[in-house]
Structure 1
Amino acid sequence: MRGEVRRRQRRRDGPQPPRLSQRDSRADEVLRVAGGIVTVRPTVVLIGPPGAGKSTVGARLAQTLGTEFVDTDALVEQTDGRTISDIFVEDGEPAFRRMEADAVARALDGAGVVALGGGAPMQPSVAELLSGHHVVFLDVSISDASGRIGFDASRPLLAVNPRATWTRLMNERRPTYESLASVRIDTAGCTPEQVVEQVHAWLGRES
């Protein structure tokens, strides 16, 4: 009798929520929350260069999906108690990259939307962690990037000759961004809301 009741209950509940397409078992168990799609693993991982809008888009996308947002750069600073610029100056880039890889691993172990620092995907250990996740490459031109972030002192790798350095880093990193990404979205001339709409629409097609 209890089994029959459960079967009737399932029929009343209607069809089960859709599942995001997945490349391995880490992207499993999908729930519908506030009209959006949320997984027990990150729904979306945003990658791209400084100025692509990862933090802004990530926060707004998470709000749209009704889930949490994690910025791994902010997580490093919160954990260590220093700014990224201070970590670079006092401990050097290798030390920062170790902290960054740890922050990425922690962020990818939870639910929500995750934004990675521009250089994080260049680490083989981080690239491996991204396998099985919905990775969105937010592409951007240098003119849009400089207008958004101003290449200020908080970005240590861009402290000297920022435009030339940004261009060089982007040329070096682009193949990795493209190889890891599930989808590339050009943010040129787009507002954060428009980018969120594009990512959300892509997620809908993937469901």
Structure 2
Amino acid sequence: MGVGKSTVGELLAARLNVPYRDTDADIVEAEGRPIAEIFVDEGEAHFRELERQAVRAALAAHPGVLALGGGAVMDDGTRAALAGLPVVYLSMNVTEAIKRVGLNTARPLLAVNPRQQWKQLMESRRHLYAEVAHAVVETDDRTPEEVAQAVLDALELKEA
């Protein structure tokens, strides 16, 4: 979270002349409320089921750049569905994450002690990101444009 998935995804889609889609945005649109409210009202398990459904639907129908929520890879089925696809893991360190996300945040998984929570989330997820990734692109101290170019380079894609 806060790594720039949405910003970089939109830049990549524009450079490749393909559509962009974000499964978190799909969930917000379908539910008519922010993700933080879903977490509070229905709990994380309910949100993760919505996320599983959104990812499956997007993978089946979307022909362009797709950004997944940070927790999507926790699902075995999602990881299996991503196998063989050109997945990029955008990586950053905790200092950069706190600069980007901030300490006062509406992100439900960072509500208490954001620095420690972010570290714990990354410790539990980093190996899963690496498992599904074709490439890992560092985002620390890079502009979104530089990250987008690094993704294109890592996947050896040509701009349209």
TM-score norm. by structure 2 comes to 0.93
Question: Cα distance, 1:151 vs. partner?
Answer: 4.6
**Root-mean-square deviation over aligned CA pairs:** 1.4
Per the alignment, residue 124 of structure 1 pairs with 76
Counterpart contact for 1:53–1:192, Cα < 8 Å: yes
Q: Structure 1: how far apart are the matches of 2:103 and 2:82? A: 27
Counterpart among 173, 180, 201 of residue 125 in structure 2: 173
Q: Which residue of 2 aligns with 1:35?
A: none
1:1-207 matches, within 5 Å, as 50-109=1-60, 110-204=62-156
Once the 2 structures are TM-superposed, how far is the Cα of residue 203 of structure 1 from its aligned partner? Answer: 2.7
More strand by share: 1
The sequence identity of aligned pairs, in percent, is 44
Counterpart CA distance in 1 for 2:118 and 2:52 is 22
What is the one-letter code of the residue matched to 1:89?
A: V
Q: 1:189 & 1:82 partners in 2: Cα distance?
A: 33
Q: Which has the higher helix share?
A: 2
Describe the SS at the equivalent of 1:174: helix
**CA drift at 1:73:** 0.7
- AA aligned opposite 2:106: S
Query: Contact between 1:51 and 1:140, CA under 8 Å: does it hold in 2?
Result: no
The structure, 1 or 2, with the larger RCO (C-alpha pairs under 8 Å, 6+ apart) is 2
In the superposition, the TM-score normalised over structure 1's length comes to 0.73
Letter aligned with residue 74 of structure 2: M
Q: 1:32 corresponds to which residue? A: none
Contact 1:58–1:114 (CA<8 Å) still a contact in 2?
yes
Give the SS at the match of 1:133.
coil
The aligned amino acid for 2:152 is: H
CA distance in 1, matches of 2:12, 2:142: 15
**1:147 partner letter:** K
* Displacement of 1:125: 1.5
Distance in 2 between the 1:116 and 1:201 partners? 21
Cα distance in 2, alignment partners of residues 151 and 96 from structure 1: 23
* C-alpha distance in structure 1 between counterparts of 2:139 and 2:157, whole Å: 19
Alpha-carbon distance between aligned partners in 1 of 2:136 and 2:111, rounded to the nearest angstrom: 28
Larger Rg computed on CA atoms: 1
